[in-house]
Amino acid sequence: MAKPILLTVDDDPGVLRAVERDLRSEFGENFRVLRADSGATALDALNQLKQRNETVALFLVDQRMPEMNGVEFLEQAMQIFPEAKRVLLTAYADTDAAIKAINTVRLDHYLMKPWDPPEENLYPVLNDVLEDWQANYRPPFEGIRVIGNRWSSDSHRIKDFLARNQFPYQWMNVESDAEACSIYFGAQKPQLPYIILPDSTRLENPGTTDLAERIGLRTRAELPFYDLLIVGGGPAGLAAAVYGASEGLRTVLIEREAPGGQAGTSSRIENYLGFPVGLSGADLARRGVAQAKRFGVEILAPQEVSALCVENQYRMVKLADGGQVNCHAMIIATGVSYRKLDVPGIESLTGSGVYYGAAMTEAIACRDDDVFIVGGANSAGQAAIYFSKFARQVTMLVRGDSLTKSMSQYLIDEIEDTPNIKVLTHTNVAAVKGDGQLSTVTVANSQTGTQETLPARALFIFIGAQPRTDWLAGFIERDDKGFVLSGPELMQDGKRPRGWQLDRDPYLLETNVPGVFVAGDVRHGSVKRVASSVGEGSIAVQFVHQYLAKVGV
């Protein structure tokens, strides 16, 4: 397999040689380094590479070039290799142009010249950028193949599961892919989706747990007992896992679907501190998982906790598969799920044109289609912008009178600047219809009372925040919506929670059961932002330490 290419472009021969030398020295083992002395020359080379089916991983381009500057080159180059990372070399006077390029060409980074020493000023940046590229790179395929059809809810389930767990796969639509048809009929029409693993194992419509075990995900605990058990693998859970394990606690994290939680499905998070060009939810999840595993966190996913038990100083959770895991302390970080939309026809079409959350696995299939998004908060806005790159028209259906009450201004501005996004306010979904696949959406205006039926190929739902905390019933106190109460919220008229036997008040993030803490969106009164969830996860670990010290662990 040919090595992916790093292309550097600069009109200064001395600088070009120096960049090429430094790139070969650090990255030559895994990448092929090419250079060009102008934008026009580089574009000719890119067209030839495209014809040979080669891959470009990185453009490292000087801004100040005659005839075609760096940003102008990137605007054309990204049309040829849209997945390549983009880094601009700038002088101090070009900083404004580089910052503007973050939006115009989705610039990944800009570097000031000179970059000496490269070990400090060049390699760390490029290593991080290339790591992100490799996480999403799809080489000539040798991995898992999924044969199915677009409108199958089981096919969607398998694709979404693999994508969220960061497993590369090749999607082969049996209705339009000649190779998929050949395999399908050659195997005597197996039940779809039909999965072919790298070792040639073939699975017919497997359950996610079965598939997880076949591809090497861990669903069973290695130890019978842990210092800290975390339920939920979103930002709060991953942060707690990192801080707990890094500070010496034997830590296990149990996640029902895939690490990253609801945030992991976000197409782009642009207001998270330290990432000026934003990052996808999948990237955030990948980084968090890698960091947690580095410190020895054991991650069980997909695995579901079905019940909580308490015995003296021990906390025990029962698993859906019948297993049990025991611990000294526990953090509940199960986050929230999107609320189900209750309208006629929706149940039978879920997974067949109707999806909850971003469902980015369906984006390419939405090319040139009419897509509808229900919701007016940040997650809906991020999805609208993402799908606008594929769909002919994206229509946002917003119950309120505007986006300003629930969406960040930067997203509102970007939506207004995107010509194929339309926002309908005072609007609800009244019904959906389709025979095996979504075909129409009926929308109702709450002010006029009028209804209109519109053609639709995809409906993505982002409404409400619904915690899944029924498994805590009988042990953990919750509000009337199911969010977990903690700390001062448990104190009624200055009295400690019923059954509380310690000679102290509950810690800030501690539930009514000593040693059981809560963090993130599932907590009553949480801010419901990625940064606050990460903060709560890390703070909860400090209270875990205090609790363990008090009980003599």
411 pLDDT above the threshold of 90: yes
pLDDT band at 93 (very low <50, low <70, confident <90, very high): low
Instruction: Say which CATH number the domain at 440 has.
Output: 3.50.50.60
pLDDT at position 139 = 66
Distance spanning both ends of the chain, measured CA to CA: 53
* 423-451 pLDDT tens trace: 999 999 999 999 989 999 999 999 999 99
Residue 219 lies in a domain: no
Question: Is residue 549 classed exposed, middle or buried when 0-12, 13-18 and 19+ CB atoms within 10 A define those classes?
Answer: exposed
Quote the percentage of the chain above a pLDDT of 70.
98
Residue 83 lies in a domain: yes
Residue 450 lies in a domain: yes
Which of 101, 136, 171 marks a domain boundary?
Answer: 136
551 pLDDT above the threshold of 60: yes
Mean pLDDT estimate for the chain: 90
Q: Are 229 and 305 within one domain?
A: yes
Which of 76, 103, 136 marks a domain boundary?
Answer: 136
Residue 199 lies in a domain: yes
Q: Are 266 and 332 within one domain?
A: yes
Q: Are 447 and 495 within one domain?
A: no
pLDDT at position 391 = 93
Phi then psi for residue 484, to 5 deg, are -80, 130
pLDDT band at 278 (very low <50, low <70, confident <90, very high): confident
140 pLDDT above the threshold of 60: no
Q: Are 352 and 382 within one domain?
A: yes
Q: Are 421 and 303 within one domain?
A: no
pLDDT at position 332 = 98
- Tokens encoding 84: 């390549």
Residue 407 lies in a domain: yes
Q: Are 329 and 415 within one domain?
A: no
Q: Give the mean pLDDT of 68-76.
A: 90
45 pLDDT above the threshold of 60: yes
Q: Give the mean pLDDT of 68-80.
A: 90
Query: Could you give the CA distance from residue 238 to residue 519 in angstroms, rounded to a whole number?
Result: 11
Q: Are 192 and 73 within one domain?
A: no
Quote the percentage of the chain above a pLDDT of 90.
64
How many domains does the structure of the chain reveal? 4
Q: Which residue, among 55, 56, 72, has the nearest Cα to 64 in the 3D structure?
A: 72
pLDDT at position 553 = 67
CB 159 within 8 A of CB 167: no
pLDDT at position 276 = 87
Instruction: Say which CATH number the domain at 202 has.
Output: 3.40.30.10
Beta bridge partners of 440: 433, 455
Buried b (16+ CB within 10 A) or exposed e, 246-260: beebbbbbbbbbbbb
pLDDT band at 13 (very low <50, low <70, confident <90, very high): very high
Q: Are 71 and 93 within one domain?
A: yes
Q: Are 473 and 454 within one domain?
A: no
* 302-316 pLDDT tens trace: 999 999 999 888 999
Pairing, β 440-445 against β 427-433: antiparallel
pLDDT band at 53 (very low <50, low <70, confident <90, very high): low
66 pLDDT above the threshold of 90: no
Q: Which residue, among 383, 349, 387, has the nearest Cα to 365 in the 3D structure?
A: 387
* 213-240 pLDDT tens trace: 999 999 999 998 999 999 999 999 999 9
Angle between helix axes 95-104 and 70-80 (nearest 10 degrees) is 20
pLDDT band at 47 (very low <50, low <70, confident <90, very high): confident
Q: Please state the pTM of the whole predicted model.
A: 0.76
Residue 386 lies in a domain: yes
What residue numbers bound the domain in which 36 lies?
5-136
* 164-173 pLDDT tens trace: 998 989 898 9
CB 99 within 8 A of CB 90: no
Which of 164, 186, 214 marks a domain boundary?
Answer: 214
Buried b (16+ CB within 10 A) or exposed e, 44-70: ebbeebeeeebbbbbbbbbbbbeebbb
Residue 25 lies in a domain: yes
Least confident of 29-43, 133-147, 452-466, 477-491: 133-147
Between 552 and 24, the more confident residue is 24
Q: Are 16 and 130 within one domain?
A: yes
Instruction: Say which CATH number the domain at 26 has.
Output: 3.40.50.2300
